[in-house]
Amino acid sequence: MLILLAGIFILHILTIILLLVATIDNAWWTTENISTDVWARWVFQNGAWNYTDLPTGSHYPTDYLQAVQASSVLACIFSIIGIFVFAAQLFTLAKGKRFTLSGIFQFLACLCIMIAASIYTDIFHTNEKGSYGHCFILAWIAFGLTFISSIIYFVLRKKTA
């Protein structure tokens, strides 16, 4: 059981790292000369990458952008809280109640990153040439891992540790 708990802890740490990289790094949308994330745009000019603000207007609505930003940050926060709750529950709660709260926090992180990636997919860059960057892909991978992690927590609540 100790190996299983260590594996779940490592999975949880991995999802936190993926969520943080997906939220912070600058590659949700890329072209040859542009790299865009949820916070700013980097443009390659004169042999250097230059920081610029995100475009405004009807093709880049601020309301949806703020929803993506908030959902990404909330996913990170919920997952980080979940790891601390996991550690606290190991030593304080009785069998049968032990991992429910950790599973809830992971499920909330799963929903938040799914909302962020879904809004980004549907609203932004629909008529532009380019491709989704590694951070966008990491966000979807983090969605899958947080979902699996939350399911494991709910299954483990009945096990002894």
Residue linked to tokens 């909302």: 115
Exposure of 33 in the CB half-sphere (CA atoms within 13 A): 6
Quick: pLDDT tens for 19-46.
999 999 989 999 999 999 899 999 999 9
Exposure of 157 in the CB half-sphere (CA atoms within 13 A): 16
The two tokens of residue 56 are 């405004």
Tell me phi and psi for residue 117, to 5 degrees: -70, -35
In this structure, the strands spanning 41-45 and 29-30 are: unpaired
Element (H, E) at 23: helix 2-24
pTM over the 0.85 mark: yes
pLDDT digit string (tens) for the chain, length 161 residues: 788 888 999 999 999 999 999 999 989 999 999 999 899 999 999 999 999 998 887 778 999 999 999 999 999 999 999 999 988 888 786 665 678 889 999 999 999 999 999 999 999 988 889 999 999 999 999 999 999 999 998 888 765 54
CATH of 2-156, one of 2.60.40.10, 1.10.1380.10, 1.20.140.150, 1.10.10.60: 1.20.140.150
